[in-house]
Amino acid sequence: MSLQRVLRFEVFLVLALVLAYLAFQNSLAFLTTVLVYAILALSYSFIYGQAGIASMGHATLYGVASYAVAILAARELNDPLLGLLIGALVGTLTAWVTSWLFITTTRLTLAMLTIAVAQVFLEVANKAHWLTGGDDGFTGYAIKPVLGLFEFDMFGHTGYWYAAVVLVIVYAAMERVVRSDFGLIARAIKADPGRIESLGGNVRRHLMKVYCISGAVAGIAGAINAQTAAVVSLDSLGFMVSINVLIMVVLGGSRRLYGAIIGAVVFLGIQHVASNFNPHHWLFVVGALLLIVMTAMPGGLISLTERWRKPA
């Protein structure tokens, strides 16, 4: 049953990616942003939905990797796949270094510490003008063609497919981790960390591994952001990224990974459409939707699909 369900979503995802490409040829840059956020939201759903780490500073992992990939690309390390690897490594390393500070804390303490860590990184990037370009953003690097064949074009065709393929691979890989015994223990920790300790488990070590895996995926999202946008700004380390990702995951539903993808699409879709109508009040629409979802279906939008299945 489980394998069928995963495959079903993967087939659905590939179809949706093809259809979106055909339907919105003029907004490929926007669609690529959605895909980047979908990958980032997946990495957040992994720590929040599976292991219960309600971080408020997820932008750190994403932003640091974005900068690292862009800065190294400016120094000739500009092969895109190498960039993905750099992003994943830098994301993992950032996760590992910062997690010591907060990984065993919960609730408000965790929220405060993760916000503080994110602010520190933001401030460092702001002040280190010589390295990051400060608030001008970091530009002036070029990315080589993907596999030496597909050049990043100004209309974003390559960028879109590049991000789309990575999204599908990342989703399939993470879904495997979630279904493994490693994922089972993460969910058990979320349910009752003290009980895990009475079974002889090392909660801290397991949570750090979970956070590092999330860091790798967030780093990959950061790498694609740097490669397809050709500029990395301070926004990538900002509080709004952390909050938006949290909203996407809650909106879509955190119990299953695909909720993150749905949340990213719905959130950014509404932002895009609503801000065209009225650039000042689009947040109102998102806020209202979030309220409705959270009161009517606390499990997020994915509980709709589960509700269909139940009676059948």
Partner 1 sequence: MTRLELNSVNMRFGPLHVTRDVSFSLASGERVALIGPNGAGKTTLVNIIAGSLRHSSGLVRFEGEDVAALSTPQRARKGLVRTFQISRLFLGMTVEENVRVAALHRHQGRRVACDTIDAEVHAGLAKLQVGHLAHKVVDSLALGERRLVELSLALTMEPSLLLLDEPAAGIPHGESRMVLKAVNELPSDLTVMLIEHDMDLVFSWARRIIVLSGGAVVMDGQPDEIARDEHVQRIYFGRGDA
**Chain residues in the site for partner 1 (CB under 8 A):** 181, 184-185, 187-188, 191-192, 194-202
**How far is the C-alpha of 152 from the C-alpha of 159, rounded, in Å?**
6
In the bound state with partner 1, the residue whose beta carbon lies nearer, of 280 and 309, is 309
> What is the largest distance, in Å, between two alpha-carbon atoms of the chain?
61
Question: Nearer to partner 1 by C-beta: 129 or 307?
Answer: 307
- Burial label for 221, CB within 10 Å (0-12, 13-18, 19+), is buried
- Using DSSP, state whether 226 is helix, strand or coil: helix
Q: What is the 3-state secondary structure (H, E, C) of 87-121?
A: HHHHHHHHHHHHHHHHCCCCHHHHHHHHHHHHHHH
By beta-carbon proximity to partner 1, the closer residue of 194 and 279 is 194
Between 1 and 149, CB nearer to partner 1: 1
Helices 80-102 and 59-73 cross at an angle (nearest 10°) of 140
Q: Toward partner 1, which CB reaches closer, 58 or 190? A: 190
Least separation in angstroms between residue 310's CB and partner 1 is 14
Minimum Å distance from CB 298 to partner 1?
13
Cα–Cα distance for residue pair 153/139, rounded to 1 Å: 17
Residue 201 CB, nearest approach to partner 1 (Å): 5
Q: Whose CA is closest to 80, among 167, 166, 170?
A: 166
Nearer to partner 1, 137 or 201 (CB): 201
Q: How far is the CB of 196 from partner 1 (least distance, A)?
A: 7
CB of 181 to partner 1, least distance (A): 5
Lookup: tokens for 30? 């926007």
In angstroms, the CA 264 to CA 42 distance is: 9
* Tokens (6 digits) for 138: 């970091």
30 versus 182: smaller Cβ distance to partner 1:
182
Cβ 184 to partner 1 shortest distance, Å: 6
Q: Which is nearer to partner 1, 191 or 283 (CB)?
A: 191
* CB 202, min distance to partner 1, A: 6
Smallest gap from Cβ 301 to partner 1, in A, equals: 19
Question: What is the number of other CB atoms lying within 10 angstroms of the CB of residue 283?
Answer: 12
| DSSP output for 146-202 | BTTTB---TT-HHHHHHHHHHHHHHHHHHHHHHHSHHHHHHHHHHH-HHHHHHTT--
